[in-house]
Chains A and B, each alone.
Chain A
């Protein structure tokens, strides 16, 4: 399986499903495609769940390096100051 991003995975999965639904496959080929499809859908699900919501801000250290520190949204009402 040569799948690296979600976009191409989804595209491959769509193609596999279309081929399986189209019939005209040998049984071996159908099974091969099915297993490939199961792998790809597993990959898609893992991508969908992978990111949490980490919110960080870059701050510059005394040495001039940028470091990431946790960030919380400023208090305030809707709209308001820019």
Chain B
């Protein structure tokens, strides 16, 4: 009996609880290095996995309250260093590590997080070229999301100053680093999308470490940029810095200054394009008039033919009316330009905008002169009484009729013969052909 008297009998719960207490007291907080396997991120938010090396394994759990602060996504095969407590999961009698913190081994956790998010969003198609929106040719107002005290806004405004860009700027002030920065920047992108006067958005900041730039690598900002209806230019740090935001944006500018160049750059080129189109417009019109006049000149030389005079007068009148309208349109343009240059000159007297407006006034004066020269050319072209609608005249032209094989017969007095009965055998006729004429004698009349 006494053999049994010394026995201490535990229930399963008791022994498990005691082991748990001993283990927890014995180890407290430990650091463990191992490879993750059987990783599961439960819908409750908790993470469960096994840590292993080549000879052993230990179960591990990282509860939601701890894993939301992880900057990378744990996954099977990753080598990690974890900090946690040793404990026992009593319902299964298994000991496990309750992980409070972990970081990847070998590669920095930020770098890993960057690669992981980049891969995830790439798979979802957020970087696809098909989603890239074209930038407006001529943006009128640009919305900028950045720090009001940072280098980015300073650089952007300096470039716009230097290029004398006529472009309105609206700054949405946001923190560009630290907790909550990504959400603030994302809110700025969404805010600009609610306005109707913004043509393009720039998000960005000056250079810094990967930690400093981190807000631009966060998913919340990436999604806001992706969902922006307005085109977004990402301008983060220096040329060598690439962020997730750069990949999602419609355009990556290597620096904030480059973004400013992009939104302001096209205007001068476009001015030149419009000027050249105006000159070609005048040139094309003059050319058409010249062509018609030369056809008319050729017709006019054939005075032998009596060209439906009423029709000609009617066409002449219509042509004249059209050219008057044309002239008014062009004079209106010239007047408008002169008026604008005078207005600018007046403003120059009032506000000292310096050589900027001088330049613009000179450009306008040049434009007015070019337009006036073109106008003079057109007016000269119009002075001829013979500027008729040549195409229509061509159809009426007796030359065209003769070309088809007809002849025009005239009696000795030059009168055109329309009825056989007006002639008698023996009369002389003159028959005009397309080329040359013949003299004929009437043999027989068949009225």
Contact = CB atoms under 8 A, between A and B. Distances in A.
Interface stretch (B13-21, B82-90, B163-171): B163-171
Interface residues of A, number: 49
A41 B157 contact: no
Interface of B: 136-138, 140-141, 147-155, 157-158, 160-161, 165-173, 176-177, 191, 205-208, 212, 267, 270-271, 273-274, 277-278, 280-281, 283-285, 287-288, 291-292, 318-319, 322-323, 325-326, 329-330, 333, 336, 340, 389-392
A65 B319 CA distance: 61
A71 to B, nearest CB: 6
Contacts of A16: 281
Nearest to B279: A17
A71 B281 CA distance: 42
17 contacts: A20-B285, A20-B287, A21-B284, A25-B288, A31-B323, A31-B325, A34-B281, A34-B284, A35-B326, A51-B166, A54-B168, A57-B170, A58-B170, A59-B173, A79-B206, A81-B151, A82-B205
B287 A21 contact: yes
A27 to B, nearest CB: 5
Interface in A17-35: 17, 20-21, 23, 25-28, 30-31, 34-35
Contacts of A47: 138
A15 B273 CA distance: 14
A52 B207 CA distance: 30
A74 B165 CA distance: 19
Contacts of A81: 149-151, 206
A55 to B, nearest CB: 4
A13 B282 CA distance: 12
